[in-house]
Amino acid sequence: MGKPPSSCSIERTVEWVDTDATGHQHNSVILRWAEACEAQLFRDLDLPEYFPTAPRVQQTVNFTAKLYFGQRVRTTIRVERIGEKSLTLVFTTEGLDADGAVQNKAAHGTVTSAYVAPGASHASSWPAIFRERIVPLTI
């Protein structure tokens, strides 16, 4: 049996700084949580060299519900695809009730990065260590 897909979940509380003038989460906080989850995923995979070599080439966020100050949230990120030079992650952010049960799906989206080797100015193939450790949802 193979390794499970590369994924990670984190929980946070919507802080005052995470809200905007309308009283619910600011749009940017969803990507911050996705990035925090992404960072944990690559720490768990023992791939710290990912961070300085994987610039964003596309980000998409679909907002589907509001989150409010003090609310608990869970963000989950998974590797959807690792291509020759790019990597696509999918994420969801869910609002949780006081018991930790999912109350709503607040946002979902994708983040795509390209591999740019140190000192290079353009994308190149992912090194073997990445291909060995990263398991996409679909192969």
CATH of residue 55: 3.10.129.10
Residue 2 domain-assigned (yes or no) = no
User: Is the per-residue pLDDT at 133 higher than 80?
Assistant: yes
Residue 118 domain-assigned (yes or no) = yes
Residue 104 domain-assigned (yes or no) = yes
- Spatial neighbors of 112 by CB under 8 A, at least 6 apart, are 56, 57, 58, 59, 86, 87, 88, 89
Residue 1 domain-assigned (yes or no) = no
Residue 67 domain-assigned (yes or no) = yes
Digit-coded pLDDT (tens) for 3-38:
667 899 999 999 999 999 888 999 999 999 999 999
Residue 77 parent element (H or E): strand 72-82
Residue 138 domain-assigned (yes or no) = no
- Spatial neighbors of 34 by CB under 8 A, at least 6 apart, are 75, 77, 89, 91, 93, 109, 111
Looking at the 3D structure of the chain, how many domains does it have?
1
Residue 135: pLDDT band (50, 70, 90) is confident
Structural domain that includes position 83? 7-133
Residue 78 domain-assigned (yes or no) = yes
Digit-coded pLDDT (tens) for 99-116:
999 999 999 999 999 999
Residue 139 domain-assigned (yes or no) = no
